Structure 1
Amino acid sequence: MDEETKREITFLALSTLAALPVLTGIGLAIVAGALTW
């Protein structure tokens, strides 16, 4: 595996990890909004 590929995989993994809490927060907000609405 060359450096370029390794860098891309690292970037994808990091952005996925960064997006998880955001998506979870949005999902929880939608559920909470639906329950209290």
Structure 2
Amino acid sequence: MGLAASLLREKHNGVLISVVQLFTELCKANKDAMEYLRKN
């Protein structure tokens, strides 16, 4: 999860859009992922 979170620092729009979509799906599938992202 930490590696995916580090992608939020990326400056390319395509990467950011993909990361947001990835996090959305992770949060839908797993409540622990949502808590991790809120804390970091």
TM-score w.r.t. the length of structure 2 is 0.46
- Higher RCO (CA < 8 A, seq sep 6+): 2
Larger Cα-atom Rg: 1
Q: Which has the higher helix share?
A: 1
TM-score w.r.t. the length of structure 1 is 0.49
